[in-house]
Amino acid sequence: MATPTPRCSSTPRILNSSENIAFEEGCLSLPDFTLEVDRARVVHVQYEDLDGETKTVMAEDLLAVAVQHEMDHLEGKLLVDYASSVKKDMYKRKARKRKAAQSL
């Protein structure tokens, strides 16, 4: 599998998507939190590059999941927003314990 080329993009939007997959995700914003999320396996995304030119890219599998994950951040949505209230509460308790242990 080839390494994806880094892209700088603004105003991304998904033009279309196909197939859904369940993917176990984590996030740097939420240490030690993972969650299985249903995402599109293939997304066709339009965006503007650093020169303001409109581009499109088709992303599949892990890259498609990453694109959707990062687009969620642009909309103010975190991985924990997909979690059940029970899983959210468990993570909050774990985070409080970690914070208390670090302040010792």
Q: In this predicted model, what pLDDT tens digit does every residue of 8-48 receive, in sequence order?
A: 888 999 999 999 999 999 999 888 899 999 999 999 999 99
The domain defined by 10-102 folds into: Peptide Deformylase (3.90.45)
CA distance 104 to 92: 19
**Domain boundaries defined on the chain:** 10-102
What is residue 54's predicted lDDT score, i.e. its pLDDT?
96
Q: What is the pLDDT of residue 1?
A: 63
Q: What is the pLDDT of residue 10?
A: 86
Q: What is the pLDDT of residues 58-84, one digit of tens each?
A: 999 999 999 999 999 999 999 999 999
What are the start-end ranges of the E strands in 1-104?
A: 10-27, 30-48, 54-60
pTM: 0.83
Active site members: 70
